[in-house]
Amino acid sequence: MRTNQHLFHIPVMGTGHSIDSPIRVAHLGINSVISVVDDLLCEKIRRHYCKKFDLPYKNIPRSAADGRAERITAYLNTVREIVRHKFDELKQQPFFASSEKDRYFQLLPFDNPIKKRYDALNALADPEERQRLADQLTEAMTPGSIDVNIMAKVDALRNDNANTPMSPEFSDASAALRGFANSNLSSGLVLSAGFNPRLYSYLSEFQDFYREKSGAIKKKIILKVSDFRSALIQGKFLAKKGLEVAEFRIESGLNCGGHAFASDGHLLPVLLEEFREKRQMLTDTFRPLVQKFYESRGWDYPELDEEELQPAITVQGGIGISGEMERLLDEYELDGTGWGSPFLLVPEATCVDEETTKLLEKSGEEDLYLSGVSPLGVPFNNIRGTGSQVHTRRRIEKGKPGSKCPKGFLVSNTEFTENPICTASSEYQLLKIDQIRNSELPDEEKEEETEKVLEKTCLCENLGTGALIRLGELKPTYGRQAICPGPNIAWFSRSYPLEEMVDHIYGRIKPLVPEERPHMFAKELSMYVDYLESLAEQSEEDAAENRKLQKIRKNLEKGMEKCLEIASSLPRRDENLDSLRETVQRERQRLDRIFGVVAAGA
């Protein structure tokens, strides 16, 4: 079941790096995902593009009663208008004139039906037949989807201008949802970062998430999930409200960009196999619940074939070569893949400033690490030497740690205050450091705990800075750029034209990565053993903690067996299966050492 013209999509990357990706690539048929966590950034980007495309612009002030939702709606409508304009212009262009229209078809995978018909068009001699096929191809063209991401649990409750608590529909996630729901888009809403029942219930207030009489759904629900159980639980919750999940987007817990939500050692080969084997269960479970809801409302549920009822299943996280994608699509019967970090080095597709691009180009594996910089308290994929890291250190050296917290999207801590504050804020860090200094901890532990506090940085502001610099809305000297690539970026060493990256994805050129790049499953395994080792080092020799460690080990060992099965199979194009076999052998020995230490400590 093909979910778009391509076999890949560009996932959300930070608040700013994919914020204008649809404007860049949707007219070429490529799906991408915008973050709307930062509505204030959306407003600045809207102003920029309204000026560039000569569209009317009126500022929506921070004081507006429903400003967050209004800013998001206005930005998404602007993006849609620009994409429609670019796509309509493209469709009017002639074939075989080295135009953007030809580029659209040339980028498509070989097995795409309209790609095959495009290739056949040039061989036709009869003018009438040629024109008829050309018209059919033009009609069959579709733009890439302008999908929107909401982090479900980044959901701060707000006060109004009189500092009175507002009702729940004005929480950050609910307002973002309303902004998307009120937009003119017909696209997907990607819900990530956990299950938020209040937000999911709020979806039911917007008719666009339900089927029309034709069977179409104007706004589709896409759930980013970590395992099958999570997909089943969340899907059932929505189905009872008549809401259908159009796509489950599986992401590696650690081998990804941005926040890393580690599982209990469940590796992708195991997860994907379970989704393949139990896929029909999703449809069989959700369909009667949805139909029952429609009946309770007196609505007619349209007659649809099995394929239309079945949710798509895609995967993302660490994919770096065509053979890996081929295995994912064929062996696990997936409908598509997400390629994120490599596109950070494709200026035509993402919004990254020049200084940060150079940093990514020269980065090696040793420069990429799971950090503690996020105020959410979740490990965050990071790269050493960013403008954000430099700025944070300079403030510490000046005795002014932390941020002024200009946006407050990640406020959650009430350790010292009645109202939540952000752990990256100056207010929190000064209070926390003072508490540590006055504690009875040994000096060495005081230093370690202080460093953990100071590591937190303002992601709300800094993740959007690079985009504003790239677009000329901030001077490069402003700095402070944060970026969150996955470890995969270490194997891509320069900037790439869009065609070159897409040809790499489809295996149409010599690979852009060296032969020694480890298989995506090998890298994920190594990262999970690193994660387990870190947990073991921090454990307090507690029975419950030891049970958790043993559970992770058991799941990893199950995953390693699957990895060995894959390593024994025929390799796909340029697939490094030797690295998978070698990694399993190495990490098994590491597990034995880790648990030897744990046993000795017990």
pLDDT in tens, 112-169: 999 999 999 988 888 899 999 999 999 999 999 999 999 988 787 877 777 777 788 8
Residue 413 lies in a domain: yes
The answer on 522 and 469 residing in a single domain is no
Contact indicator for 192, 151 with CB cutoff of 8 Å: yes
Residue 82 lies in a domain: yes
Contact indicator for 434, 415 with CB cutoff of 8 Å: no
The answer on 473 and 582 residing in a single domain is no
The answer on 438 and 524 residing in a single domain is no
Residue 133 lies in a domain: yes
* pLDDT score for 597: 61
Using DSSP's 3-state secondary structure scheme, residue 242 falls into coil
Residue 166 lies in a domain: no
Domain that holds residue 453: 375-482
Of the listed ranges 127-131, 322-326, 575-579, the one predicted with least confidence: 127-131
How far is Cα 370 from Cα 527, in angstroms, rounded to an integer? 9
Question: What are 470's two structure tokens?
Answer: 């790239």
The answer on 391 and 457 residing in a single domain is yes
The answer on 537 and 417 residing in a single domain is no
Give which of 198, 201, 191, 196 is closest to 168, Cα–Cα. 198
The answer on 52 and 111 residing in a single domain is yes
Q: Kindly report, residue by residue over 14-72, the tens digit of the pLDDT.
A: 999 999 999 999 999 999 999 999 999 999 999 999 999 999 999 999 989 899 999 99
* pLDDT score for 1: 37
| Residue that is last in its domain, among 482, 507, 526 | 482
Quote the pTM value.
0.94
The answer on 524 and 458 residing in a single domain is no
Contact indicator for 11, 18 with CB cutoff of 8 Å: yes
Query: In sequence order, which residues have a C-beta less than 8 Å from that of residue 407 and are 6 or more positions away?
Result: 38, 40, 460, 461
Q: What is the mean pLDDT of residues 329-352?
A: 97
The helix or strand, by DSSP H or E, that contains position 368, with its residue range, turns out to be strand 368-371
The answer on 554 and 476 residing in a single domain is no
Residue 103 lies in a domain: yes
* Long-range pairs, 460-463, Cβ under 8 A, ≥24: 460/15, 460/37, 460/38, 460/405, 460/406, 460/407, 460/408, 460/409, 460/410, 460/422, 461/403, 461/406, 461/407, 462/387, 462/388, 462/391, 463/14, 463/15, 463/16, 463/17, 463/38
The answer on 146 and 10 residing in a single domain is yes
The answer on 550 and 440 residing in a single domain is no
The answer on 473 and 528 residing in a single domain is no
Residue 270 lies in a domain: no
Integer angstrom CA distances of residue 120 from 4, 113, 114, 182, 272: 21, 11, 10, 42, 36
Using DSSP's 3-state secondary structure scheme, residue 57 falls into coil
Query: In sequence order, which residues have a C-beta less than 8 Å from that of residue 412 and are 6 or more positions away?
Result: 156, 375, 376, 420, 422, 423
How far is Cα 18 from Cα 9, in angstroms, rounded to an integer? 12
Q: Count how many domains the chain has.
A: 3
| Residue that is last in its domain, among 99, 126, 152 | 152
| Residue that is last in its domain, among 109, 131, 152 | 152
Residue 140 lies in a domain: yes
